[in-house]
Amino acid sequence: MSESEDLYSSEAEEQLDELAAGPDAELYNAVLDAIDHVLDDAADARVKSPPLRDAAGRPIWATVVMYERDPRWFVFWSDASGDPVILGAAALPAL
């Protein structure tokens, strides 16, 4: 298993590939910045992230992506197995 496979779920890999190939480099870079924050300082990211739970009840964190044109973007990640693993990135629907 490569280091990349340890850090990203297959869904996150696909989403990042789609963002990289898409027309919005600013969004892609903002998502990468949020991922870097999670991987570099998961404890700080956890404090600043709303807690969620997966279907099994394990905690998932939603780190805000600093993206001015659509502030609803989050990077979803978990550290239930010890090290942070990026689960994906998406915009939540407006309430």
Residues 41, 79 contacting (CB under 8 angstroms):
no
Instruction: Report pTM.
Output: 0.87
| CATH code of 13's domain | 3.30.2310.20
Residue 95 lies inside a defined structural domain of this protein: no
Residue 82 lies inside a defined structural domain of this protein: yes
Q: Which domain holds residue 57?
A: 3-90
Interatomic CA distance for residues 76 and 62, integer angstroms = 5
Q: What's the pLDDT at 51? A: 85
Residue 17 lies inside a defined structural domain of this protein: yes
Residues 16, 8 contacting (CB under 8 angstroms):
yes
pLDDT digits (tens, 9 = 90+) for 25-71: 999 999 999 999 999 999 999 999 988 998 889 889 999 999 999 99
Q: Which amino acid is at 76?
A: F
**Mean of pLDDT values over 77-92:** 90
The 3-state DSSP class for residue 77 equals strand
Number of domains in the chain: 1
Residue 38 lies inside a defined structural domain of this protein: yes
Q: What's the pLDDT at 64? A: 94
Burial 48-62 (b: 16+ CB within 10 A, else e): ebeeeeeeeeeebbb
